[in-house]
Amino acid sequence: MTSRAPDDFRPAARATATRRSALMMSAGLLAGSLLGVRPAAAWSAEEADLIWSELATAFFGDRPIATGGNLITLDAPGRAQDPGSVPVTLALRLPPGDTRRIERISLLVDENPVPLAAVFHLGEKAAIDRIETRIRVNRYSRVHAVAELDDGSLHMAEGFVKASGGCSARPVERPEVAIAHLGDMDLTQLPGAAGGSARREAEIRVRHPNYTGMQMHYVTLLYINARYVDELTLTQGDASILKVVGGISLSEDPSVRVSYRAPNDAPDLTAQMVDTDGARFSESWPVALTGGS
């Protein structure tokens, strides 16, 4: 079952941004005021500590953030081959017998113009234990993942990536190709068992240029207005598996791979996407009990 209802692809962004996007941009301006313009070689641990302190306060106020342990871990390459598509893996491990639930994870690239790459809202019954995605890294930067539990506690994991130019790199696809395929979605499912008892994996891929506002058109050499995936959700029946609130720091043609338990026995998985220009897309696939696409 498939439904697809794209809006027109317009080169200009909406005149009015969502409140969430405005907050993200405000945080980006905060980071920019701290960063200024300087080469990657100027990175220092002291300055990075200051930047993270300011970002942590901006996003989480004065709430304590626990470090250490394996409740959340972050894996990213120390040196990225492609700064516009850096793989990141988040692993979640609540201690045996711990009845708390991880509600959401904020992924931040400290030195990016808009540090908040995504917020992952975990489905209540999905028991997610791993999320993989790809991000842009604009200069040498720490990457932070902050998990928020249902008791209000915050837990952090940290990585460091050497890369530069990820937010301003020329788009891989030309605008005419992006227009033709905007909102195309593909889902890959890995083996699972009937009845929703087994752990499953699914990877959702979305065709979208995820323009940052810092990239130039290959012909006009004018800056392309920011336009990116605002929300991406994956559900089984009426139950949420994962909701991703995105930003410009997610890669072009975003992809998310998730390890989860089926929240119910509904026969279909549905992905829905809306971007910052208001274009909406939806597509559904039958649940694969033996793997496949």
What is the number of domains present in the chain? 1
- In CATH, what number is assigned to the domain containing residue 257? 2.60.40.2470
Answer whether residue 293 is part of any domain.
Answer: no
Answer whether residue 269 is part of any domain.
Answer: yes
Give the tens place of pLDDT for each residue, 52-101. 999 999 999 999 999 988 899 999 999 999 999 999 999 999 999 999 99
d(CA 119, CA 138): 19
Answer whether residue 180 is part of any domain.
Answer: yes
**In this structure, what are the phi and psi dihedrals at residue 54, rounded to the nearest 5 degrees?**
-70, -40
Does the pLDDT value for residue 141 go beyond 50?
A: yes
Long-range contacts of 287-290 (CB under 8 A, 24+ apart): 287/189, 287/192, 287/236, 287/262, 288/189, 288/191, 288/192, 289/192, 289/193, 289/194, 290/191, 290/192
Give the tens place of pLDDT for each residue, 233-261. 999 999 999 999 999 999 999 999 999 99
- Per-residue model confidence (pLDDT) at position 32: 43
d(CA 87, CA 237): 29
DSSP annotation of 195 reads: G
Write out the DSSP string of 56-115: HHHHHTT--EE-SSSSEEEE--SB-S-TTSEEEEEEE-PPTT----EEEEEEEETTSSS-
Answer whether residue 20 is part of any domain.
Answer: yes
The model's confidence at residue 105, banded by pLDDT at 50, 70 and 90, is very high
Rounded to an integer, what is the distance from CA 262 to the centroid of its chain?
Answer: 21
Answer whether residue 115 is part of any domain.
Answer: yes
pTM for the structure as a whole = 0.85
Per the structure, the complete domain to which residue 183 belongs is given by 2-286
Compute the average pLDDT of residues 171-199.
Answer: 81
Answer whether residue 168 is part of any domain.
Answer: yes
Distances (CA, A) of 33 to 99, 105, 137, 185, 278: 41, 25, 18, 37, 30
